[in-house]
């Protein structure tokens, strides 16, 4: 998540520099050929304008869908914050207060659940965009992905005993199994009279809410923006980018007729065509950078920061003093 006022123009230029060079090149080739006499390369601008209208609609639709996916992901983690806090104080008070060893063990198992979940959500998928050169370069110069700097077994070892750690690491969906262990311990406490039926019901409902949130996050992670919409947007955009320089050749050549620019106005086709195609391509790229809100991009939901905030709040409920530091932005970006 970008935590500053805005991306700076320099950041945007660096992020899109590779694509900008291609736009200039694609505009320069037909302009130079036209200048040297290949007049037949000039196309009427009207068909290109129709394609541009279609591209504008589909890119706008894609960006709206991308924002909806991003906002839903943020709502899911907002609910995880609230339900983690309510689960924590309900559990603490049901088990006898801040000094309860069982409560502390279950608190730390919840931290392990948050950790396992964020590592699972950061796992790469074939349709995600962090492998693109522009994203790799931007990441290398601006921020780090915490889950790429550590290993899940090392992080889980901070919260779990060795036997439980070994058991959890043997499972495929570790977050789910950690919730199952929490449920198993609650059942044991209920059967042994440590908590009554009403307390067990409340705590079990808390676990069910957390499981529901996990499932919603996994749905966004594992179901991409539909490939049919994504593909047609890419193809139409490609056609539009290719056509624009050819469609504006004659218009810019005529622009200087009767003025001191006569014979030279043609060269305006290069910057103006590049600017038009850059605008459409960058709008599409912005939507693509938000469509997968857990992949590790600069526009992600900050699940690592949120998980740390929950841990600090819950450990504070136990009056622990050695609290972990809050995660702060690096170059205005926080994950």
pLDDT for the residue 261: 65
Phi, psi of 279 (to 5 degrees): -60, -50
pTM attached to this predicted model: 0.89
pLDDT for the residue 228: 82
Burial of 125 (0-12, 13-18, 19+ CB in 10 A): middle
Tens-of-pLDDT digits for all 335 residues of the chain?
Answer: 878 777 777 877 778 888 888 889 999 999 999 888 888 888 888 888 999 899 888 888 888 989 999 999 999 999 999 999 999 999 999 998 888 899 999 999 999 999 999 999 999 988 888 888 878 888 888 888 889 999 999 999 999 999 999 999 999 999 999 999 999 999 999 999 999 999 999 999 999 999 999 999 999 999 988 888 888 888 899 999 999 999 988 888 888 666 766 667 888 889 999 999 998 888 888 888 888 999 988 889 999 999 999 999 999 999 999 999 998 888 888 88
Angle in degrees, 0-180, between the axes of helices 227-247 and 45-94, rounded to the nearest 10: 150
Domain chopping of the chain, boundaries: 9-317
pLDDT for the residue 160: 94
pLDDT for the residue 255: 80
């Amino acid at each position: 998540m970008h935590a500053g006022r805005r991306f700076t123009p320099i950041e945007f230029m660096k992020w899109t520099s590779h694509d900008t060079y291609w736009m200039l090149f694609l505009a320069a080739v037909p302009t130079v050929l036209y200048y040297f006499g290949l007049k037949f390369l000039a196309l009427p601008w009207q068909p290109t304008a129709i394609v541009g209208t279609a591209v504008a609609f589909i890119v706008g639709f894609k960006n709206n869908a991308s924002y909806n996916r991003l906002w839903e992901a943020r709502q899911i983690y907002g609910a995880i914050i609230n339900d983690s806090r309510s689960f924590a104080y309900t559990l603490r008070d049901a088990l006898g207060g801040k000094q309860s060893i069982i409560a502390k063990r279950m608190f730390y198992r919840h931290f392990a659940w948050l950790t396992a979940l964020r590592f699972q959500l950061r796992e790469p998928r074939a349709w995600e965009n962090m492998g693109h050169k522009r994203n790799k370069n931007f990441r290398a110069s601006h921020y780090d992905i915490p889950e790429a700097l550590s290993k899940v077994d090392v992080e889980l070892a901070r919260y779990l005993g060795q036997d439980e750690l070994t058991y959890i690491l043997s499972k495929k969906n570790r977050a789910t199994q950690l919730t199952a262990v929490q449920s198993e311990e609650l059942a044991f406490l209920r059967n042994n009279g440590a908590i009554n039926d009403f307390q067990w019901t409340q705590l079990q409902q808390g676990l069910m809410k957390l499981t529901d949130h996990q499932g919603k996050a996994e749905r966004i992670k594992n179901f991409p923006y539909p490939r049919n919409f994504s593909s047609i947007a890419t193809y139409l955009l490609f056609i539009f980018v290719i056509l624009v320089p050819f469609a504006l050749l004659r218009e810019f050549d005529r622009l200087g007729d009767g003025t001191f620019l006569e014979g030279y106005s043609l060269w305006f086709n290069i910057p103006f065509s590049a600017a038009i195609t850059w605008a459409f391509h960058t709008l599409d790229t912005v939507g693509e950078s938000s469509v997968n809100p857990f992949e590790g991009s600069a526009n992600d939901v900050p699940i690592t920061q949120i998980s740390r905030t929950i841990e600090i709040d819950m450990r504070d409920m136990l009056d622990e003093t050695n609290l972990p530091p809050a995660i702060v932005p690096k170059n205005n970006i926080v994950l």
